Amino acid sequence: MLDFLGTLERTHRCGELRASDAGKEVVIMGWVNRRRDHGNLIFLDVRDRSGIIQVVLDKELVPEGHAKGEQVRPEYVVAAVGKLRLRAKDAINPKMPTGEVELETTKLLVLNDTKLAPFSPADEAIANEEVRLKFRYVDLRRHEMQRNFRLRHDITLAIRESLSRQGFLEIETPILCKSTPEGARDFLVPSRVHAGEFYALPQSPQIFKQLLMISGFDRYFQIARCFRDEDLRADRQLEFTQVDLEMSFPRQDSVFAVVEDFLTSGFAAAGITLPKPFPRITYDESMRLYGSDKPDMRLPGLTDVRAAFADADLDSLKFDPALPVIALRIPNVGELSRKEREDNHPLFDEKKGAKFIDDFKRLAKSFPAAVDKIRELTGAQEADFVIIVAGDPAHHIQASDTKFPGRLSEREIAVFSAAGNFRVELSKKYADRHGAFKVTDEVVVAAAANSEADVKPGPLDGAQAFQPIWVTDFPMFEYDAEHKQWMPAHHPFTSPHESDMANLLTDPASVRANCYDLAMNGLELGSGSIRIHSQDVQKQIFTSLKISEEEAKARFGFFLDALEYGTPPHGGHRAGA
C-alpha cells in the first residue's frame, strides 16, 4: 500500500547534507539506490539528482518505519523524515560526500513502487545501448548522466552570459524552411497543405544569420540545432547543436576575441582554465609543422630535415629531392622491434605519394652525418622514436606543381599530410609511453569530480591539457579531382584575401580565404569566415567556381537579392557544442 505525500515538503536534497547540518529536522525524497538489510537494522541509500544520503531504520526505535523498509526495493520512490545526525567515528564513509552524516528516520513514506527494470542506475557495468535507450528514463537516473546534463547546462549558461555581455542578441531562426544548397542531404518534412511538397530542416543557420546582419542586428548568436541526413559515426549524430554567431563590421581579430571569451567562459564553467589569447598559425605553417589543418600541439611538430642530406644520399634512399624530407619524433616511445615497426606500416598512407624510414638506427649506420644533423634539428633524445618521411618519386600523385612564393605546393602538402597523419596515428598508439595525452585525461576526471559538488573547488589549469589554436588563411578553393572542378573549401560566401583577388580566375589555387578554424588537441572545434558583402565579389566567386548566373540565381537567388540591399561587412563563427 502506497503512502500519500499529503502536506509533506522536502527540506533538503540528499547530496547536499553535511556535518554542519547535523541536528536538523530533515525531510528528503528520492529513489532507493540500494538497501542493506541487517534484520533489525536497515540502511537505505536514498538518491536524488544531488547525490545520495544514508537513511537508517531501527526496528527498536521506529517499528512502523522499519516494517516499511522491509518492503522497499531499489528504485522505489520514498520520503524520509527524521533528524540528521553525525555518524559514529568508525561508521564514517569517506567515499561519500555525505559520508559523515546519516538520517535517523522517524517516518518513512513509500510514495511509489516500481517494476523491475532490466538494469539499475546503481549498477557498475552499464547495459547495452539498445536497452538503455528503451529505458532511457532509468538510464538518465545514473549519476554520470545527471552530471553530464548538469555540466551541459552550466556550460551553455556561461556561453550565453559571455555572448550577451559582449552585446550579442540570441535570436531563433526557422526550423521548417526552404532547402538551401549546403553540403549534406536535407531532412525533409512533408507538407500537409501542399501535397507532394516538403520543408527542409536547416543544416546550419548560415543563410539566416547573414540575413540578420543585412537586417542590422549587428551581433547575433544562437545555440542552434542543425540537421544533416548523413550516415552516422560514433561521434556524429543526425541532429546536433552548434554555438552559432555572426557580427557586423568585424575584423578577424574581433571575431577571435569574441570566440575566445565565450569558449574560456564555457571551459571555466567546467572548472578548466584556458589561457587567452589563443595562439595562431596559418594554414601553410600548420601543414608544414603538423601536417594537418587541425594540429595537435601536445606533441612535437614535424621538422624539415632536407638540408641534412646530400643530394647523393637522397638519391640512394630514393627520396624525391624536390620535396621536403620530414623528421617526426614521438618522445619516450623507446626502441621498437622489427615486428612492432611492421605492425605500424598500415597506419601510413602511401597513396599520398610519400614513403618513410622507421629504422633510425640503421639509417644512422649508413648516414651518420645526416642523422647527427637530424638529432640536432629535432632535438631528438635517445628514447625518442624518430621516423623520416619523404616524397616517393615512384609514386607521383596527380597534382599541379605550381608554387607560390612562400606557399606550399599540393605535392608538398601531400608529403606533410602523410607525415602528419602518421604522427597522429602513432601518437594514439603509443599514448601510454609518451604520456602527453594523460594530462588531458587527468584534468577531465578532475573537472568531472568538481562538477559533482554544488560548490566548485578552484579552477584547474588546463593549459597543458587543452591547447586551442587558430588556423588562418585557408585556401579559398579545393580541387575536386573526381568532378574536375574547383570547390569552395569553406562555403561560397567566404571572402577571399583582398591581395589575392587578382588571381581568382587565373590561378584559383593561390587564393587565400578570410577563413579560420579553431582547433584543439587535433580536433576541429569550430570554424568561421569573414563573408562576402558585395554583389560584385560574389559574382566573381561564382564565375571562378563555374557557377552560371542562372544556376546561382536558382540556388541562392533570394540571398543574392538581399546582398543588393545594403549589406554590411560581416563575419562569424560556429562551434560544435
**Which of residues 8, 43, 479, 540 is near RNA by CB under 7 A?**
43
Which position among 3, 16, 21, 37 is part of the footprint of RNA (CB under 7 A)? 37
φ, ψ at 100 (rounded to 5°): -90, -15
Using CA of residue 190, residue 491, residue 563, residue 503, what is the dihedral sign? negative
CA distance 400 to 173: 43
**Using rule CB under 7 A, residue 128 touches RNA:** yes
Output the nine-digit C-alpha cell for 243. 554555438
Interface pattern 445-484 for RNA (x via CB under 7 A): ----------------------------------------
**Rule CB under 7 A: which of 526-545 touch RNA?**
none
Shortest distance in whole angstroms from residue 185 CB to RNA: 7
Q: With beta carbons less than 8 A apart as the criterion, state whether 440 and 272 touch.
A: no
State which residue, 161 or 452, has the beta carbon closest to RNA. Answer: 452
Stretch 219-238 residues interacting with RNA (CB under 7 A): 228, 230-236
Q: Does residue number 91 form part of the binding site for RNA (CB under 7 A)?
A: yes
Q: Is 115 in the site for RNA (CB under 7 A)?
A: no
**Smallest distance, Å, CB 548 to RNA?**
18
- Our CB check for RNA shows the closer of 380 and 575 to be 575
425 sits near RNA (criterion: CB under 7 A): no
Does position 573 interact with RNA (CB under 7 A)? The reply is no
- Candidates 27, 111, 127, 364: give the one binding RNA (CB under 7 A): 127
Closer by beta carbon to RNA, 41 or else 377: 41
Residue 335: HSE in the Cβ half-sphere, 13 Å Cα cutoff: 6
Q: Indicate left, alpha or beta for 106 from its phi (over 0: left) and psi (-120 to 50: alpha).
A: alpha
What is the residue whose three cell numbers read 538510464?
Answer: 139
Question: Does residue 557 touch RNA according to CB under 7 A?
Answer: no
**Among 274, 322, 329, which Cα is nearest to 459's?**
274
DSSP for 246-300, written as a single string = EEES--HHHHHHHHHHHHHHHHHHTTEE--SSPPEEEHHHHHHHHSSSS--TTS-
195 scored as a contact of RNA (CB under 7 A): no
Shortest reach from residue 196's CB to RNA, in Å: 23
Q: Give the C-alpha separation, 432 to 443, whole Å.
A: 16
CA distance 351 to 355: 9
Q: What distance in Å separates the CA atoms of residue 144 and residue 376, rounded to the nearest whole number?
A: 48
Nearer to RNA, 101 or 363 (CB): 101
Cβ proximity of 163 and 221 under 8 Å: yes
352 binds RNA (CB under 7 A): no
Beta strands in 401-481 (DSSP E): 460-461, 468-472, 477-480
| Contact in structure between 66 and 58 (CB atoms under 8 Å) | yes
Question: Binding-site residue total for RNA (CB under 7 A)?
Answer: 60
Q: Which one of residues 19, 131, 336, 397 is an interface residue with RNA (CB under 7 A)?
A: 131
Q: Give the span between the Cα atoms of 120 and 118, in whole angstroms.
A: 7
Q: Contacts with RNA in 506-525 (CB under 7 A)?
A: none
Burial class (CB in 10 A: 0-12, 13-18, 19+), 94: exposed
Rounded to a whole number of angstroms, the minimum distance from the CB of residue 118 to RNA is 3
Confirm or reject binding of residue 252 to RNA (CB under 7 A): no
576 counts as binding RNA under rule CB under 7 A: no
CB of 16 to RNA, least distance (A): 17
| Sites for RNA among residues 281-300 (CB under 7 A) | none
Q: Using the minimum distance from each CB to RNA, give the nearer residue, 133 or 502.
A: 133
- CB 494 to RNA: min, Å: 9
Q: Minimal distance in Å, beta carbon 4 to RNA?
A: 24
Residues 419 and 300: their CA atoms lie apart, in Å, by: 13
- Residues at the interface with RNA (CB under 7 A): 34, 36-41, 43, 45, 54, 56, 58-60, 73-74, 87-88, 90-93, 95-96, 99, 102, 116, 118-120, 123-131, 182-185, 203-204, 206, 228, 230-236, 487-492
